[in-house]
């Protein structure tokens, strides 16, 4: 491991030198035009290789869970930015699964507002770009991190000593029962049907970052139908994805954002070596499961992530500044970026017929396009996801497609302030640095409340 360092690279030759000094490799290409190419997804087609990764905005109406004016603004900006696919953020399938009172949820009662959001997002892309954007909705339950009314009400799949402590539960805290999980499949199926009626092209069951379905994959110590064997741990996501796919038929698709590595020590993690106490990356089960999901539901594309935001955020969003009170990462951000891209490369090899979407490139700032083009040319992945970059600089896509470059003054600074807003829970989420008129005061709400409570 190399020591943590903030971004201070001027150009791609400095980036290449830094990688060489650290013994790391990433592909590069100056042919950034490859990023503007259309991508065939069978019945669907993407106008370019850019994807807006799901980014929770915490701006739903707290009573109806419907998209608010701020939600409409965020998605209009994403669409006008030019990305070919917009992966809408985690929307919960039941109120008890909200990570905060302002998390989105699609319901029969608020369906018309969702329809309008979908229509306006599509229209914004048409007006600005003349292209048809593909829209996916991420369906979620926050599981262990549920705070439906702002206070924790964890729904846990298994006991993990480290995460139990962080979630404030002890060994006597009850696990969610198999029968409750059986019933939750209906919640996912209903939300999938509503998403199709709202006009989304595809849906996905969020199985990343330690939320309910991600935690299921790790439940080696759980008994019953959803724990222990590989078959049982993957059952919920497999059966639920297959059920939704068969209900939605050929007009819509089911896809996945799957965690490839939850680095809790064995037997509490996923994508780790099956040796007691190990958290070494081992992709055997994640790759097998990705293959099964694609075969079972004919997924036209596949998204992934790694790491656990509460314990190893440096693995999924390498950054310059941690959130308040959190430790400085134990590694250099480039190590996180290279690990993430290497996992994507293995995934793309395992799914040769399906475009894989990468992420975690935000730290590279204006040096991202040459790496992204290299990743595509060398087939490490075929679609380039931007998370924080979509908050900070949604029209980076337009700049890259038209000029091959990003404006360093508009890039995300990987400062973690949007993650801070999410942790504080009180403000609506966006970029306080690059979109300050709205989001600086949203950041302030949470920061002031934390200070009043004596929290970092």
Ligand X SMILES: Cc1cc2nc3c(=O)[nH]c(=O)nc-3n(C[C@H](O)[C@H](O)[C@H](O)COP(=O)(O)O)c2cc1C
Please pick, from the candidates 122, 141, 206, 388, the single residue that binds ligand SF4 as defined by CB under 6 A.
388
Do 48 and 15 touch, CB atoms closer than 8 A? no
Please pick, from the candidates 35, 41, 86, 90, the single residue that binds ligand X as defined by CB under 6 A.
90
Q: Which is nearer to ligand X, 220 or 332 (CB)?
A: 332
Contact track, ligand SF4, 281-310, x by CB under 6 A: ------------------------------
The interface with ligand X within residues 91-150 (CB under 6 A) comprises 138
Q: Which is nearer to ligand SF4, 202 or 313 (CB)?
A: 313
The interface with ligand X within residues 316-335 (CB under 6 A) comprises 316-317
Please pick, from the candidates 59, 80, 89, 335, the single residue that binds ligand X as defined by CB under 6 A.
89
Which CB contacts under 8 angstroms, 24+ apart, belong to 41-45? Answer: 41/134, 41/253, 41/300, 41/301, 41/355, 42/300, 43/250, 43/253, 43/300, 44/134, 44/201, 44/253, 44/300, 45/132, 45/134
Query: How far apart are the C-alpha atoms of 191 and 187, rounded to whole Å?
Result: 6
**Which among ligand SF4, ligand X, none contacts residue 432 (Cβ within 5 to 8 A by kind)?**
ligand SF4
**Which among ligand X, ligand SF4, none contacts residue 206 (Cβ within 5 to 8 A by kind)?**
ligand X
Q: What's the sign of the alpha-carbon dihedral 372, 377, 378, 382?
A: positive
Q: Which is nearer to ligand X, 53 or 320 (CB)?
A: 53
Residue 53 interacts with ligand X (CB under 6 A): yes or no: yes
Residue 359 interacts with ligand X (CB under 6 A): yes or no: yes
Residue 396 interacts with ligand X (CB under 6 A): yes or no: no
Output the smallest distance, CB 345 to ligand SF4, in A.
Answer: 25
Asked if the bond preceding 267 is cis, omega within 30° of 0, the reply is: yes
Residue 386 interacts with ligand X (CB under 6 A): yes or no: yes
228, with CB counted inside 10 A (0-12, 13-18, 19+), is middle
Find the part of the chain contacting ligand SF4 (CB under 6 A) among 71-79, 186-194, 217-225, 412-420: 412-420
Query: How far apart are the C-alpha atoms of 118 and 112, rounded to whole Å?
Result: 10
Output the smallest distance, CB 85 to ligand X, in A.
Answer: 13
Please pick, from the candidates 265, 433, 438, 449, the single residue that binds ligand SF4 as defined by CB under 6 A.
433
Please pick, from the candidates 388, 423, 434, 447, the single residue that binds ligand X as defined by CB under 6 A.
388
Strand pairing partners for 27? Answer: none
The interface with ligand X within residues 183-222 (CB under 6 A) comprises 206, 208
Pairing outcome for strands 50-52 and 85-92: parallel
Output the smallest distance, CB 440 to ligand X, in A.
Answer: 15
Q: Which is nearer to ligand X, 67 or 227 (CB)?
A: 67
Output the smallest distance, CB 11 to ligand X, in A.
Answer: 20
The number of residues that bind ligand SF4 (CB under 6 A) is 14
Q: Which is nearer to ligand X, 269 or 336 (CB)?
A: 336
Please pick, from the candidates 155, 416, 426, 442, the single residue that binds ligand SF4 as defined by CB under 6 A.
416
Q: Which is nearer to ligand X, 210 or 267 (CB)?
A: 210
Residue 418 interacts with ligand SF4 (CB under 6 A): yes or no: yes
Please pick, from the candidates 70, 417, 422, 425, the single residue that binds ligand SF4 as defined by CB under 6 A.
417
Query: How far apart are the C-alpha atoms of 111 and 198, rounded to whole Å?
Result: 6
Find the part of the chain contacting ligand SF4 (CB under 6 A) among 28-36, 75-83, 328-336, 428-436: 428-436
The residues binding ligand X (CB under 6 A) are 53-56, 89-90, 138, 206, 208, 257, 305, 316-317, 359-362, 386-389, 418-419, 422, 429
User: Footprint of ligand SF4 on this chain (CB under 6 A)?
Assistant: 388, 391-392, 412-418, 431-434
């Amino acid at each position: 491991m190399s020591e943590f360092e903030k971004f201070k690279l001027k150009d791609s030759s400095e980036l290449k030198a830094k990688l060489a000094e650290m013994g790391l490799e990433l592909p590069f290409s100056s042919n950034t035009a490859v990023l503007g190419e259309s991508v065939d997804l069978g019945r669907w087609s993407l106008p370019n290789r850019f994807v807006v990764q799901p980014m929770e905005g915490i701006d739903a109406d707290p009573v109806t869970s419907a998209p608010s004016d701020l939600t409409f603004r965020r998605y209009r900006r994403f669409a006008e930015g030019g990305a070919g696919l917009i992966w809408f953020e985690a929307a919960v399938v039941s109120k008890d699964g909200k990570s905060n009172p302002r998390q989105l949820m699609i319901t029969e009662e608020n369906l018309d507002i969702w329809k309008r959001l979908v229509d306006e997002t599509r229209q914004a892309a048409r007006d600005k770009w003349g292209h048809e954007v593909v829209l996916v909705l991420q369906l979620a339950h926050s599981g262990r991190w549920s705070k439906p009314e702002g206070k924790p009400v964890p729904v846990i799949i298994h006991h993990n000593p480290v995460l139990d402590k962080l979630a404030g539960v002890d060994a006597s805290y009850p696990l969610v029962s198999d029968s409750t999980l059986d019933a939750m499949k209906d919640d996912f199926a209903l939300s999938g049907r509503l998403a199709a009626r709202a006009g989304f092209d595809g849906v996905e069951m969020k199985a990343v970052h330690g939320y309910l379905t991600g935690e299921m994959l790790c439940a080696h110590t759980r008994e019953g139908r959803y724990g222990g064997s590989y078959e049982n741990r993957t059952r919920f996501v497999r059966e639920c994805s297959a059920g939704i796919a068969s209900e939605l038929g050929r007009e819509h698709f089911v896809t996945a954002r799957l965690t490839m590595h939850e680095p809790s020590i064995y037997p509490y993690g996923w994508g780790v070596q099956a040796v007691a106490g190990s958290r070494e990356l081992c992709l055997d089960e994640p790759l097998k499961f990705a293959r099964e999901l694609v075969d079972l539901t004919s997924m036209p594309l596949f998204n992934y992530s790694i790491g656990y935001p509460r314990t190893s955020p440096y693995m999924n969003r390498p950054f310059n500044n941690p959130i308040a009170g959190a430790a400085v990462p134990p590694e250099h951000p480039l190590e996180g970026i290279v690990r993430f891209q290497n996992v994507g490369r293995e995934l793309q090899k395992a799914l040769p017929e399906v475009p894989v979407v990468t992420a975690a490139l935000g730290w590279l700032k204006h040096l991202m396009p040459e790496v992204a083009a290299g990743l595509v040319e060398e087939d490490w992945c075929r679609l380039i996801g931007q998370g924080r970059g979509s908050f900070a600089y949604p029209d980076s896509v337009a700049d890259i497609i038209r000029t091959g470059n990003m404006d360093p003054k508009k890039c995300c600074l990987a400062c973690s302030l949007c993650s801070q807003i999410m942790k504080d829970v009180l403000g609506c989420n966006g970029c306080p640095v690059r979109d300050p008129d709205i989001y600086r005061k949203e950041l302030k709400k949470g920061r002031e409340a934390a200070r009043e409570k004596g929290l970092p």
